[in-house]
């Protein structure tokens, strides 16, 4: 979504983000359910095969092709997106509880904010850093105190996948600056699907 559209873009941004949050939230119980029937690799393959096929068809109809100089970053972000993030995350989810995995993934936004500040020079301000701190404090008990449905190794896999998330979000931001959102996402998923298939 182009955030330079003014008030119309701002009006659409919050409902879109809220909808994405809801869809993200239900992915853990549904993922856990799918893992009862098949392994992490198959869940990841089927999930992203469908997404990449739909987005790639749209992108090809629009004639949006990545430039030759953009191919290496698209390949790298593709590897970080599906194999390094979601394959590892679903592997961890297969070994731990859906609630615990979702809480651990709550560490992602503070990690992205910290590394975006560190590597991209993005600034949050006092309110932003307060929110990052509150989020970190809120999720810490789930990460450091294993329960009945999880242990350290299982949780560590989910946490490890977040390092790949940081990488693809920061690198993907640069790709998104030179390419529209849907074609960029389509090519990233297509390259990641080809690497993980």
Q: pLDDT of the chain along its 197 residues, tens only?
A: 344 445 555 677 778 878 887 887 788 888 888 888 999 888 888 888 888 888 888 889 988 888 888 888 888 988 898 888 888 988 888 888 887 888 888 888 888 989 999 998 988 889 888 988 888 887 777 666 656 556 777 788 888 999 999 998 898 887 777 778 888 888 888 887 655 55
99-120: b or e for each residue (b if 16 or more CB lie within 10 Å)? ebbbbbbbbbbbbbbebbeeee
Say if 4 falls within a structural domain.
no
Look at residue 195 in the predicted model and tell me its pLDDT.
54
Say if 103 falls within a structural domain.
yes
Say if 82 falls within a structural domain.
yes
C-beta separation of 81 from 194 below 8 A: no
Cα-based distances in Å from 111 to 6, 26, 53, 129: 29, 22, 30, 12
Say if 189 falls within a structural domain.
yes
Q: By residue range, what is the domain housing residue 137?
A: 27-196
Say if 165 falls within a structural domain.
yes
Look at residue 110 in the predicted model and tell me its pLDDT.
87
Largest CA distance in the chain: 51
C-beta separation of 64 from 183 below 8 A: yes
Look at residue 124 in the predicted model and tell me its pLDDT.
83
C-beta separation of 87 from 44 below 8 A: yes
User: What token pair was written down for 170?
Assistant: 């920061």
Look at residue 13 in the predicted model and tell me its pLDDT.
76
Say if 186 falls within a structural domain.
yes
pTM: 0.74
User: What token pair was written down for 8?
Assistant: 């119309």
Say if 69 falls within a structural domain.
yes
Look at residue 1 in the predicted model and tell me its pLDDT.
38
Look at residue 28 in the predicted model and tell me its pLDDT.
80
Cα-based distances in Å from 89 to 17, 25, 61, 86, 130: 22, 14, 32, 5, 27
Q: How far apart are CA 23 and CA 19, in angstroms?
A: 6
Say if 2 falls within a structural domain.
no
Look at residue 9 in the predicted model and tell me its pLDDT.
57
Structural domain tally of the chain? 1
């Amino acid at each position: 979504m182009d955030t330079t559209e003014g008030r119309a873009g701002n009006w659409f941004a919050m409902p879109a983000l809220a909808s994405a949050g809801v869809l993200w939230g239900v992915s853990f119980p549904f993922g856990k359910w799918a893992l009862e029937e098949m392994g992490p690799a198959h869940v990841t393959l089927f999930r992203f095969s469908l997404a990449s096929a739909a987005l790639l068809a749209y992108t090809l109809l629009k004639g949006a092709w990545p430039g030759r100089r953009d191919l290496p970053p698209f390949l790298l972000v593709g590897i970080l997106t599906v194999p390094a993030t979601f394959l590892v995350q679903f592997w961890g989810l297969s070994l731990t509880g859906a609630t615990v995995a979702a809480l651990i993934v709550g560490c992602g936004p503070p990690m992205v904010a910290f590394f975006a500040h560190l590597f991209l020079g993005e600034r949050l301000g006092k309110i932003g850093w307060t929110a990052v701190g509150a989020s970190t404090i809120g999720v810490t008990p789930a990460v450091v105190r294993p329960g009945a449905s999880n242990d350290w190794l299982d949780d560590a896999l989910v946490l490890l996948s977040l390092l790949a998330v940081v990488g693809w979000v920061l690198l993907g931001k640069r790709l998104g600056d030179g390419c529209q959102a849907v074609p960029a996402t389509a090519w990233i998923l297509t390259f990641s699907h080809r690497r993980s298939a």
